[in-house]
Structure 1
Amino acid sequence: MSLILTIFALVFVTQLISWIGQSVLLELAYALYLRLFHSSTDAQLRKLKIELLNTKSEMLQTSAQDHFAKWAKLRRSVDKGLADLEKLNSEVAAKKSAFSFKFNTAIWILTTGVQFFVGWWYRRSAVFYLPPGWFGPLGWWLSFPFAPAGSVSVGVWQMACKRVIKIGERVVKDLAASSHSMTEVQVEGQEDSKKDS
């Protein structure tokens, strides 16, 4: 793949991750991670919650005055279940914290880190050349910092791609908002015509 498309793809993936949200991706990846690698812990946690709810429901239905022995036994069972649930939740929280750190590091490396590396590796390369005299004396800025004169550098191309993608995002959001508002106006117009007839 050419340098121009590689840089555009890297910038697009970075922007896509920011649109979706890193926390949303983290939750999806963590749920998948739990199901694939820690399915027994996940199943044990769900089973414990269900048992705890059932026992607590039964305890609430049992009169503490009339059936004290049964109520006390259920109460001890609920207390033990809560302690087990708290212990399991702390284990899951520790796993999630470790996974979160690794996931965020991987996302940073795959997006920002790769962009820095590509910018550094191709710092003296031209992404493409401009026709002579298009930008006059400002042409040197497009090749900033190390690309040959009359060319567009990797850093400038990354900034241009990011700007174009952000403008595209704004245009799509504005179009979606205007089409949504037009649909609401049409629906209100149809409701008004039904009321008049």
Structure 2
Amino acid sequence: MPSLLIIVFILQLTIHSVNTFGVATINSLLWTLFNMLPVPTSKAAAEQNDLKSQFLELRKEMNATSSQDEFAKWAKLRRQHDKLLEQIEKTKSTLDSTKSTFDSVVNGLRWLGLNGVRMLLQFWFQKQPMFWLPKGWAPYYAEWLLSFPRAPVGSVSIQSWSIACMAIILLVSDALVSAVGLALAPKAPSKTAEPRKAPSEEKAARAEESRSQSEKKEL
């Protein structure tokens, strides 16, 4: 059996991942995977995808057809366009009702599987120390806070361990996001400084300039 420390950490990591990617995104992915199975809504979902493909092709063809020069062809495409749009709306209303029920069930199962399990673990193991602190490592009030609410003083409770795991996960996540952002950010073009002339070259240039000025005066 895996250690309780690892279970709590994985649970907190999963909760953070769900909150990061978003519930709606995960539900949409699960809905797509669900319709790949032999379920009653799979046929309707496949039919809707096929209708959408036909609709996009017909819309593209209709936009390429002039309503003035080729009115008969454009009117025929328009009728087909409206018919497909009506069919898409009909299948969409049916699937939306089923998807709403699916989202409610998934949200409930996700809450039970994540937050429900976390609350159950914190209640069941509230008296069990996760690990013991070295003696004299922290003052009494710090030991009492780390053992809150019912773990032995001098140990770390499951609640404190959960908070520590979430804090570490947030720090690492923010650091990774910042690193990726810096890596993908466009770099500003560096200005190349002009090479500085040596003192001998500067003297020669000044002498040449003064000689040219004196020649102009003589002229």
Give the TM-score normalised by structure 2: 0.71
Give the match for residue 152 of structure 1.
156
Give the match for residue 31 of structure 1.
32
What pairs with 1:120-131 in structure 2 (closer than 5 Å)? 120-131=123-134
Aligned equivalents of 2:44 and 2:57: distance in 1?
20
Change (3 A) 1:103 1:134: same
- Counterpart of 1:18 in structure 2: which amino acid? N
What pairs with 1:171-190 in structure 2 (closer than 5 Å)? 171-181=175-185, 184-185=187-188, 188-189=189-190
Give the match for residue 202 of structure 2.
none
Give the match for residue 108 of structure 2.
105
Verify: 1:118 aligned to 2:121, yes or no. Answer: yes
Change (3 A) 1:47 1:153: same
Which of the two has greater helix per residue?
1
> Structure 2: any 5+ residue segments left out of the alignment?
195-219
Offset, 1:75: 6.6
1:165 pairs with one of 138, 163, 169 = 169
Q: What whole-Å deviation, never above 9, does each CA across 1:137-195 have from its counterpart, x for those lacking one?
A: 221111111111111101011001101111111222233333445x724xx24xx66xx
Which SS does the other structure have where 1:184 is aligned?
coil
Aligned equivalents of 2:58 and 2:182: distance in 1?
53
- Counterpart of 2:30 in structure 1: which amino acid? A
2:48 pairs with one of 38, 45, 48 = 45
Offset, 1:105: 1.6
> Structure 1: any 5+ residue segments left out of the alignment?
none
Q: Which moved more, 1:19-28 or 1:40-49?
A: 40-49
Aligned equivalents of 1:160 and 1:62: distance in 2?
66
RMSD: 3.2
What pairs with 1:7-18 in structure 2 (closer than 5 Å)? 7-18=8-19
Aligned equivalents of 2:175 and 2:56: distance in 1?
49
Higher relative CO (Cα under 8 Å, sequence separation at least 6) belongs to 1
**Is residue 35–residue 42 contact of structure 1 (8 Å, CA) maintained in 2?**
no
Q: What whole-Å deviation, never above 9, does each CA across 1:38-83 have from its counterpart, x for those lacking one?
A: 331122113334455667757x96989x998x99887766555443
Question: Highest Rg: 1 or 2?
Answer: 2
Determine what percentage of the aligned residue pairs are the same residue: 30
Verify: 1:91 aligned to 2:74, yes or no. Answer: no
